[in-house]
Structure formats: structure tokens, C-alpha cells
Structure 1
Amino acid sequence: MSASAPAVPQLSLRAIILSMLLAMILAAANAYLGLFAGLTIATAIPAAVVSMAVLRVLGGGSILENNIVQTGASAGSSIAAGVIFTIPALIILGYWHDFKYSWVLAIAGLGGLLGVLFSVPLRRTMIVEDPLAFPEGKAAAEVLKAGENPGGGVKTLAFAGVVGSLIKLAAASGLKLIPDAAIGSTFFGRYFAFMGTNLSPALLGVGYIVGLNVGIVVVAGSILSWNIAIPIYHAYFLNSDPELAAKIAGAGAADIGYAIWNAKIRYLGVGAMLIGGIWTLFSLRKSLASGIKSGLAAARKNVGAAAIAEVDRDLPMKWMLIALVVFTIPLALLYQAIVANWLVSIPMTLIMIVAGFLFVSVSGYLAGLVGSSNNPVSGITIATILFASMVLIVLLGRDSPIGAVAAIMIGAVVCCAAAVGGDNLQDLKAGYLVGATPWKQQLMLCIGAFSCALVMAPVLNLLAAAYGIGAPTPEHPNALAAPQANLMASVAKGMFGGHLPWTMIELGAVIGALTIALDEWLKKRGSSFRVPVLGAAIGIYLPLELMVPIFLGGLLNHLVARKHPDAVSEEARDRIHQPGTLFSAGLITGEALTGIIIAIPIVVSGRADVLALPDTFQFGQFVGLIVLAVVAWLLYRSGAKAQG
């Protein structure tokens, strides 16, 4: 690594503008995807490919300019994750009826900025002195180094984006040419039977990105809910709930299944996610302690600015401390606006600062070990909400009507900070490998994070008005599930005396514990197949039809890999899957952005079917299955063209 300052431009005006645009677009897409399927996708590599193509059109860009663009744009996934995991809980709890722009901006923007600040001291320890793997940072660096000819990647992204966009436009929320899902349900005596698949290309792309192992785990969780738990509950326990039995009397098989799932069975997933989050933190306790120790040690270091080379220069510590105070004051005022008691809002602010720094350290360490995509940010947020709730119970009382909201507000800032902090270190790893200047990357991620925060509230309001968020209602029968936000709301509500189906939550915790035991057994056997409890819990919590295309996408990933049996190294496997990964990212982005665009006329007109064509132009489930099969073939062909 050269000690001299890079002579090529990095923070150019065109790179900043392009990065901000990509960050906002990808944040909106990830918000839709996360509320829909409980998952977000990493955005650094697609952003790098787009950047290389755009800057080439504008006269050519250096590898360091492209690195700056992907650094800022990568905030699109981290800010979106931090927001959708927590803030919709305020709608679910009934505290908000819509997303307040200034509040969302403060939570997401300031939380993201704190995440960058808290992660700056970690760079030297985790990347330079005692380097961790940071797999996605390494992958982004390889894409940047190999970016001499990005045209093929851009064409793949663009074509897949058009495919995803057209199918979303043709689906039930748009022209209604094809349905959103192909579903079959019936009763065999008193036993409920259900099978189906969503026809979303985005979910197929998600499955390809996460792989077959995760695809099997999430679909198995849904099968447990829909083909085991719901039939058992309907056959043997429905009569013990007269209110639910009366509600579904005379309904069709599918409506009965969804009613039982919504009222009872989905809480199995809540219990499994709760025990899974706690176990994840416990099982990584040594790594967590090491991450916190590294963060504290790095924060104590005081290296003179004159002694630091340009390629090793972070944001100045003095300005970081000033910024920390400046960013914390608005959050303290926000907490005061909620509880109207400085004796409560000041402890809330202190909890947020301490938990923010500790969990950014944890998030950064785990991102270095397993990557940002596998970083258990939801588990970190659960731990924050549980700890904050215990303190707030002392200050406010268990029956406080505002206690759950206050806990969610603390968790939301910490979640945004932890998500951005882990992502920042991935970007700094990529920058370290290509010779970038750290402080310029850190500044760019601050800009990218705040740019994303500017658009989150309008996007969330648009999605909530058009599709609904949380439990299905007569007005929004296919509401966006927002699984993590539902979990956070359930945890906070339960801590403050809320009425929840605790029997189901406890049974879900038992299922989660058995899943953990199975995973530990597989680990001891050295099995390459694992059963991550949080993946299984998401499958339990969400409808089966959402998990089936994720499984199919993972199967396509496996079939592509089998065409290259000689690729044994991680780098070779990444090269094989890169075209398929770009195609998947295009499907996801195209569908998600079109879903947001379609929401505009729905909200303006007040009609969910405003774009629908007459019935004579509407086709059934069979045509939808054919369309999904064609998309699957295109995805497989894209991946199979990779060169070993």
C-alpha cells in the first residue's frame, strides 16, 4: 500500500451527485422489498457497475471515483434496513397513523450519521492492524478492479430491471393481466391444506442471491406454519377460540388459513425470532466482547494527523466529537417530545449513545466475520429494545402507555447506526484494497446516509397508503408484512403489559430452541448445510407463497454452481455467480421501483384498481406461472453464461 496521497480524483462533484441519486433509488427499492419479504439486498456492487458505466459515458472515471460512488450508494440498503426494521412498529402500535417526515428524517439521518462516526475509530483496528475478512468489501474491490469493461454488467442490470418492471406493472396492483400469486387451498375433512407461490420476479432474485441453503431453511419454516401448524390448530384448537371461530365461519379455505395465520400462527415466528436474536448475541459473545474491546481501544488512540498518510487518514477525532454532540441534541429533544420528562429523556439519550457505540462495534466486527448480509442487526435491535424497556419500566412503570413507543424510538436510532456502521466498514475495506482515502469515504457515506433519510418517509407513506403495512385489513387484504417491525412492536408491547398470544410466542421460542440445537449439531458434524434460526423464524412468520420463489431462486443458484464443479475457491464462485447476481439485482430493483411508481396513481385516485384493465384482458394463475418460469429460465441462463 503506497503511503503517498492518491493523485486521482475521488470526491468529485459528479461522483457525489451520482452516489446520492443511486443511494436514494436503492433505498426506496430496499424499503419496498424489506416490507414485502423481510429481506434487503446489498447495493454496493450494482452501484459500482452503474457508476463505471455512467462515468465512462461522462469521459471516464478512476477506480477511486467509482469506489466513492459505491460507498455512498451502499447506504441505500443499510438505512432502509434500519428504518423498516423499526419505524413501521410505530404504525403497528397505533402511535402514528402516518410516517412523520421530520421524525423519520431525524431518526434515520442522525442514526445513520452516528453509525458512521461510531465506526470511524474501528477502521484502524479491524481493517489495518488486525484485519478481518469483510467478504462483501473484498468482493466490491474485485468488481472495481475488474471494471475495465462494465458494459455487459450494465446491460444485464438494465434488461433484468425492465423484465421485473413490466411484470410488476402487469400484476394485480397494476394492469391485473396476471395475479400476484398462484394459490391452491382446500380441506380434507377438518384438515386444512395449502400450497402456492408468489409470482414476483424480485423474490426469485432474492433467492438467487441468498442461495439454496437459506432458501431451504425459509421455505421449511413456512411449511411448518402453513402445512403443519395451521392444519393442527384448525382441527384441534379452533373451538377453544370462539371469537376466531365465529369470524371465519362460512369463509373459503384460503381465507380461513390466512385468518388463523394472522391471529395465531404467525406469533410462532415472533417467538422463534426473539429466541433467535438472543441466541445469536449469546453465541457470539466472545466475538462481541472482542469487537467492543477493539472499539474502545481504537477510540483511545490519538495518532497525530501529521504522522498519518493520506491513504490512512480518518475524519479528525476533534470534529467527530463535536458532531456527536450536535447530532445527539436533536435526538434528546425528540425523546423529550415523546415522554415530556427530562428525567426520562436524558437516560433515553444516554442509553442510545452507549448502545449505539457498543452495537456499532459489534455490527462492524460481525460484518468483518460473516458479511453485512448475514449481520444480525435485528437481534442487536431486539437486545436494545429489551434493555431500554427494562430501564423505562423503572422510570415510567410497566403500564405506561408511552413506554413501548419510547423503547422503539431508542431501538430505531441504534438499528440505523448499527446497520450503517457495519456497512461503512465493508466500504472502508474495499477502499483500503484499492488505495482510497478513508476520510473521503466516511464523508461520502454520511452524505449517502442522509440522502436516503430524505426520501424514506415519503416512500413509506406512499407504500402504506397504497398497500397497507402490517396485518391484512379489508381495505388492504395483501398488506406488506413488515416482519421485523412487527417483531419489535410485539416485544415492546409485551414488555409494557400488552395483550399478546403468549402461548404461541412461547411455543415459537421452543421451536427456535430446537432449531438452534439442530444447527449446533450440524455445526459439530462439520456439515456445509446449516439451519440459521433467524432465517427459519422469518419463514415461520411470513406466508408460504412468499418463501417458495425464494427457494426456487436458491435452487437456480445451486444449478448454476453445478455447471462449474471445478470452482472451489471463494473468488471463483463469486465470478461464476456475478452475472446471475446482477440479473437478480435488476429484477429486484425494477420490480420494487415500479411498485413504488404504481402506488402514486393508487393514492391519488383512492382506488386500488385504478390501472386495472377490463376483465376480458385478465389472465389466470396458469399464465402467471408460465411468466415466472420464463423469468427463472432467463435468470438461470444469465448465471450459466459465467466463465469459470
Structure 2
Amino acid sequence: MLTANMYLGMRSGMTISASIPAAVMSMGLFYVLRRVGIGGSLLENNIVQTMTSAGEALAAGVIFTIAGVTFLGEPIDMIDTATVAILGGLLGVLFMIPMRRYLIVDKHKTLPYPEGTACADVLEAGDSGESGVKLISFGFLLSALYMWLASGMAAFRTTIQTAFSVGETRGFAIGGDFTPALIGVGYIIGPKIAGYVFGGGLIAWLMLIPMLITGGFAPEAADAGLMAQANAVWDQYIRYVGAGAMIVGGFHAIISMRKTITDALGTAAAELRGSANTSPSSQKRTQRDLSMKFVGGGALLVMLALVVLPQVQVGLIGGVIAVIAAFLFVAVSAYLVGVVGSSSNPVSGMAVATILIAALAMKSTGVTDPVVVLVTASVVAIAAAVAGDTSQDLKTGYLLGATPRKQQIAQLVGITISAVFSGAVLYFFNQAYGIGSSTIPAPQAGMMALISEGVLTGTAQWGMILIGAVFACVLILMRIPVLPFAVGIYLPITLATPIFLGGLIRGGVDRYVTRVDDKDGTRAEETTYRGRIVAAGLITGEAIMGIVIGGLYITGVGESGGAPFPIGFSSALQQALGVVAVIILVILFTASILRAPSGTSQ
């Protein structure tokens, strides 16, 4: 999972959330074990899922940041990479612990944590009988077949997009990468949050980009076509707007959580003084966390390691910035994935914010090496990514009645093991293909390196960052959730659109069930459950097929460019078949929710 996700992330700029695939694989294993009489409890199943999902989150932070040192002329070192990954991953788990009660328990009805909720449904489905397993299997097989035809054989295109002009205004762009996983995530988070994300995308691609292109801001290299110009403007300008909005939105979220953060710090201080009655025996099993002494001591050790270990070399200022920024962005990440899910967690946006803060602070002290800034941001990015995964796992555990302390230990073990392998995997890919090559262009890592160097040399897009910050302030004054909108601005419109489509399916199904024959809410509840189960299968099928295709690329099976086994259809036919495929996917997904197998229940 770690290897394939790192490869796919450097190839496409996106990773695949592994919490649900891990839950499905764990559920399947335990289901088979029970069928042969070996057994295995639901909570044991949950611990396995918690530990195995750690690698995906770590992979995102590593490939989006540490890989960027190659763009700055530095080689990939296995030990250095593993060290930074371990330190960042440990901070992500440790700093999520004091946030758990507020985000997972107190905000249970407000923050859905889509992957965490879906994982709980998956594990319960495997524990309860065959009906839930059939629904998951249907979603899995439908998604896997869809992605194999699209990515394995190039039978059709999943991405449908266009750019157009209206009068003298050029550069309007709309489209979507209509994959099962993104539609499934949209269904899980629902129409309201999906609408916020899509709204941010519309502002970016149907307002800001046309204004910039018409105003002459399109890069010369993008003169080949209007869609290419729109993508280039988004890459060089709009992402900074999204980053600025996320910075303000993140700090607003932190201010909104100030009581939680203050209480967490107060509890930690009380435990360190020995004055808090928080022994495990005085708490319910389902509320037992690792102690605040462990959290505080672990954070101090990590900060010390950042300062003194030669494999890191960020210095005292870098170490302090990394730990403080990690604490703040762990809170932001844990909150954000509760709203839009880990699949849309803008880790790179948080890394951009850290780079801006760290570079400004370090520049004032005479630091001129962008690698130091990049490594500092790497720690924070990895911590934020891991915190998102940890919060989803803790949500799953909360729904299943697990002991948080045991989950947190499992997460620490999984992070450490994955981090050790991450250095070797990144080194292998750099040696085999070269990071930044056409095979693994690593676009996110290249952008991080560019920003690190740009801030130190004074060429960063501060104006665009300010525009995003002002936009976020306006949203705050209007009492509109900032972070989902900011995510929509920062992400390509091709990601926001399918998420919105999934949200529309959820809204349409809910309205239909309520209008037709749901008098007491029972059918609506069962339909929501079935929808989450099938959506979990859609996400899992795409993730597993992505790993399979990534493995084919790595081993050299099939053609090296594009799909491994292309059918040879023309571009026009692929586009037309892509529209047909999306329609069929939506129909089958909707039908599976409304026409569930007999005996399915929550």
C-alpha cells in the first residue's frame, strides 16, 4: 500500500486514501477466519485496520515535501527520509490525542468523518453477516472494473473537461475526473459540504481564472490551448489564493477550537504536575487515551531530535517552528477531514502555509538554504497527513466502542514501521526513474521546492496569497464555512465536480425515499447505511485497482506510457464512452442503494 501510493502520488500528484481499503481487506480476512472457525472480534479487526492504514497518510507527506529536495539539487537519502518521516508521523499521532474528545466525541453529530464512518460500517457489515458483504463486494467490483477499463485498458476517459470564452472574456473552465472513489466520497459527506467544495471550485475556475487570463496573466508556455492556459493559471496563481484562504481558515478554525486547545494544554499541565485524576482506572474504557505526560514528553523529544539529529538539521528555529506549526495544523487537519474527508485533505496546502511561515522566520535570521525550509515543512505536512488518518481511525473506534489508547498505540507502531520503509521506497524510485522525470514528475514536490526557493529569494506570489486571505475573511463575516470553500479553490475543478455529483446523488436519494414511503425515518436510515456501504466499496475498488496498475508500471508489465494494455480507441471515442460510463456508474450506484439485497439492514 505504501509503495503503490508513493508511486501514484508522484506520478499524478494525488494519493489514495487507504483507511477504507484497509478496513475492507481487514474485514475480508476476519470474515474468512470466522467462516473457518478461527474467530476474531470486531475490535481486533479495528486494530488491524488502524495499523495498516498508517502508511498511506505517511506517504502523502513524504512525496509532497521531502521528494522536493531533488528539485533543489540534493539527493534522496534513505536514513534522512525515514528520520524525518518518523518524527513528523509521531507528532501527528501525539498532537491528535488531546483533540480526540472534542472532535470525535463532542462534535460527533457535527463532524461526519466520512472515511471513519464508512470504515465502521464496513467492519460491522463483515461482522454482522453476508448481506453487508454483498453490498461492499458489489461496490468494489463495479469500481475495480470501471478503473481497469479506464486506466488499465484506456477504453474510456474518466476526465471530461472543457474551456470556453464568453464574449471577450476567455478562460472559463469546467469538468470533472469522474472516478468511483470521488463520487463515493461525495455521497458520504453529503450535498451540503460537497456544495461548499464545489462552490470554491466555481469561484476559482469560472471567476478568478477567466479574469486573470483575460487580463493577460496566462503564462506564455500555455499558449497552445485555452484549457492548458486555465490549468497553468491555476497552478501558478490560483493555488496561492487557495493557500491564503486555507491559512486564514485554518487559524479561524484554531481560534474556534481555542477552548479545546486550552483545555488540552491545561490537562497536559495538570498531569505533568500530578494533580489530575486521569488514571486509566478512573475512566471508562472507551475514553482512555495515552496520557498527556506521554504526549508532552514525546513532543519534547521530537523537538530535541529535530534540533540535534544530523539527519534533519533544521536548527533550533526550524525545530520550534515545526513543532508549533505541527500542533496547529494537526488541529486544522483533524477538523478538516471531519468535514470533507481524508481524500480531500489539502496536506500540500498546509505545507505551503508552513513554508511561508518558516521561510520568513528563517530568512530574518540569515538562513538561505531552501532545503532547510523544505525539511521543516516536511515534518508539518507529514504530521498533518497522519493526524487526518488518525482522526478517521479514532472516529471508527468511537462508533465501534474501541479503546482509544489501544488504537493510538497501534497507530504509533504502524507509523514507525511505514516510515522506515518510506526512505527506501523513495530512494528506489529516485534511482530507478528520477524524481521529476516524465515517469514520476512529482508535481507537488516540485511546487514545494519552488515556493521554498521563491520565499527566500523574494519571488513568491504574495499578492495572490493576500487575495485568498481577504476572501476567507469575507466568508467568515458571512458565517460561511471557510475551509471547504478554500479546499475547493485549491483543488482542481476536476476533483470538486465528482465530489459534488456524489453529494447530489445522496441528496436525491434521501429526498426520494422521504417522499415515497418513509413515514418514521426507518427506510431513510437504512438507505443511508446501504449507500455508505456501497460508497465504501467504490472507494476501495478504485484504490486497489490503482495499486494493481501502479504495480504493473513498477514491474514493467504492459506498455510503459499511458495504460498498460490500451485497446487503441481514438480520443473522440474515449471521450464519448467516458460520458456513457459515468452515466452507467451513477445508475448502478443509485440502483444498488434503492434496491438492496433482501435482508440488508443496519
For normalisation by structure 2, the TM-score amounts to 0.77
Aligned counterpart for 1:292 among listed residues 265, 269, 281: 265
Number of residues paired by the alignment? 584
Closer, same or farther: CA 459–66 of 1 in aligned 2, 3 Å: same
Deviation at 1:325, TM superposition (A): 7.5
Q: In structure 2, which of residues 390, 395, 409 is the aligned counterpart of residue 443 of structure 1?
A: 409
Q: Which SS does the other structure have where 2:155 is aligned?
A: coil
Counterpart residue identity of residue 392, structure 1 = M
Match of 1:561 in 2: 510
Match of 1:517 in 2: 477
Change (3 A) 1:600 1:39: closer
Corresponding residue of 1:178? 156
Aligned to 2:40: 61
Q: Does 1:264 align with 2:237?
A: yes
Report the 3-state secondary structure (helix = DSSP H, G, I; strand = E; otherwise coil) of the residue aligned with 1:182.
strand
2:14 to 28, 31, 36: 36
* Matching residue of 2:363: 393
Deviation at 1:550, TM superposition (A): 1.8
Matches within 5 A, 1:283-362: 283-301=256-274, 311=285, 331-334=306-309, 336-337=310-311, 339=313, 345-353=315-323, 356=326, 362=331
Q: 1-side partners of 2:235 and 2:103: how far apart?
A: 45
The alpha carbon displacement at 1:625 in A equals 0.9
**CA spacing shift, 1:546–1:181, aligned 2, 3 Å:** same
Q: Distance in 1 between matches of 2:118 and 2:272?
A: 28
1:232: Cα distance to partner?
2.6
Distance 1:102 1:109 in 2: 11
Q: Alpha-carbon deviation of 1:293?
A: 2.8
Counterpart of 1:543 in structure 2 is 492
1:330-363 deviation line (CA, Å, top 9, x unaligned): 54455x4455xxxx62443344455556766x46
Distance 1:347 1:608 in 2: 44
Deviation track 1:59-78 (CA, whole Å, cap 9, x = no partner) reads 22123322322332343554
Q: 1:253, CA displacement in angstroms?
A: 3.1
Q: What per-residue deviation string (whole Å, max 9, x for no partner) do you get for residues 422-479 of structure 1?
A: 4564466356x25x5x554333222222343355457768999999999xx9x47x97
Identity %: 29
Give the Cα separation in 2 of the matches to 1:266 and 1:294: 38
Cα separation, partners in 2 of 1:97 and 1:150, compared to 1, 3 Å: farther
Mapped partners of 2:505, 2:355: distance in 1: 38
Q: Which amino acid aligns with 1:446?
A: L
In 1, distance between residues paired with 2:242 and 2:43? 44
- Indicate whether 1:112 and 2:89 are aligned: yes
* Distance verdict in 2 for CA 1:487–1:194, change over 3 Å: same
Is 1:191 the counterpart of 2:169 in the alignment? Answer: yes
Aligned with 1:638 (options 589, 592, 597): 592
Cα deviations by residue, 1:500-547 (Å, 9 ceiling, x for unpaired): 3333333333333333333x0xxxxxxxxxx53232223223333332
* 8 Å Cα contact 1:389-1:495 kept in structure 2: yes
Q: 1:156 matched to which residue of 2? A: 135
Q: Could you give the per-residue CA deviations for residues 474-498 of structure 1, whole angstroms, max 9, x where no partner exists?
A: x47x97764xx78866765564344
Shift of 1:636: 1.4
Q: Assess if the C-alpha contact under 8 Å between 1:82 and 1:416 holds in 2.
A: yes
Separation in 2 of the partners of 1:177 and 1:167?
A: 10
CA contact (8 A) 2:21 2:543 kept: no
Q: CA deviation at 1:248?
A: 4.4
**Alpha-carbon separation, structure 2, partners of 1:146 and 1:166:** 22
- In 2 relative to 1, CA 82–194 (structure 1 residues): closer, same or farther, beyond 3 Å? closer
| 2:196 is equivalent to residue 217 of structure 1 | yes
Shift of 1:626: 0.6
Equivalent residue, structure 2, for 1:407: 376
Aligned to 2:247: 274
Against the structure 1 CA distance between its residues 540 and 135, is the aligned structure 2 distance closer, same or farther, given a 3 Å change threshold?
Answer: closer
CA distance 1:170–1:268, shift in 2 (3 Å): same
Change (3 A) 1:609 1:590: closer
The aligned amino acid for 2:553 is: A
**C-alpha separation between the residues in 1 aligned to 2:298 and 2:219?**
56
Cα 1:389/1:630, change in 2 over 3 Å:
same
> In 1, Cα distance between the equivalents of 2:272 and 2:129?
39
Aligned 8 A contact 1:28 1:455 in 2: no
Q: Does 2:593 correspond to 1:627? A: no
CA contact (8 A) 2:160 2:578 kept: yes
Letter in 1 for 2:466: E
Which AA in structure 2 matches 1:562?
A: R
Q: In structure 1, give the amino acid aligned to 2:511.
A: R
Query: Aligned match of 1:582 in 536, 546, 551?
Result: 536
C-alpha distance in 2 between matches for 1:99 and 1:328 = 23
| Greater mean deviation of Cα atoms: 32-41 or 404-413 | 32-41
Q: CA deviation at 1:382?
A: 6.4
Amino acid at match of 1:545: T
Find the residue that maps to 1:197 and give its secondary structure: strand
Structure 2 residue identity aligned to 1:110 = L
SS, match of residue 211 in structure 1 = helix
Distance 1:108 1:313, change over 3 A: same
User: In the aligned structure 2, how far is the partner of 1:514 from the partner of 1:267?
Assistant: 17
Partners of 1:46 and 1:481 lie apart in 2 by: 30
1:166-214 per-residue CA deviation (whole Å, 9 max, x = no partner) reads 333333x543222342333344554334343324233222322232223
1:560 maps to amino acid: V
Question: What is the letter of the counterpart of residue 244 of structure 2?
Answer: G
Kept in 1, the 8 Å contact 2:9–2:60? The answer is: yes
Once structures 1 and 2 are overlaid, which stretch shifts more, 421-430 or 623-632?
421-430
The equivalent residue for 1:202 is 181
Equivalent pair of 2:187/2:505 in contact (CA under 8 Å): yes
Distance in 2, matches of 1:38 and 1:148, equals 25
One-letter code aligned to 1:621: Q
**In the aligned structure 1, how far is the partner of 2:562 from the partner of 2:340?**
39
1:71 aligns to 2:25 (yes or no): no
Alignment-derived partner of residue 13 in structure 1: none
Q: Which residue number in structure 2 is paired with residue 9 of structure 1?
A: none
CA distance in 2, matches of 1:98, 1:163: 42
Cα distance in 2, alignment partners of residues 206 and 32 from structure 1: 22
Distance in 2 separating the partners of 1:488 and 1:410 = 13
Within 5 Å, which residues of 2 pair with 1:442-481?
A: 442-454=408-420, 456=422, 475=438
Change (3 A) 1:405 1:616: closer
Gaps of 5+ in 1: 1-22, 521-530
Cα RMSD of the aligned pairs, angstroms, is 4.8
Deviation at 1:107, TM superposition (A): 2.6
Q: Is the alpha carbon distance of 1:179 and 1:573 closer, same or farther for their aligned partners in structure 2, counting shifts above 3 Å?
A: closer
State yes or no: 1:103 paired with 2:73.
no
Report the counterpart of residue 592 of structure 1 in structure 2.
546
User: Helix, strand or coil: the match of 1:185?
Assistant: strand
1:396 aligns to what SS in structure 2?
Answer: coil
Q: Is residue 196–residue 544 contact of structure 1 (8 Å, CA) maintained in 2?
A: yes
Name the CA shift for 1:415/1:33 in 2 (closer, same or farther; >3 Å).
Answer: farther
Residues 177 and 578 (structure 1), Cα distance of their counterparts in 2 relative to 1, 3 Å cut: closer
Per the normalisation by structure 1, the TM-score is 0.73
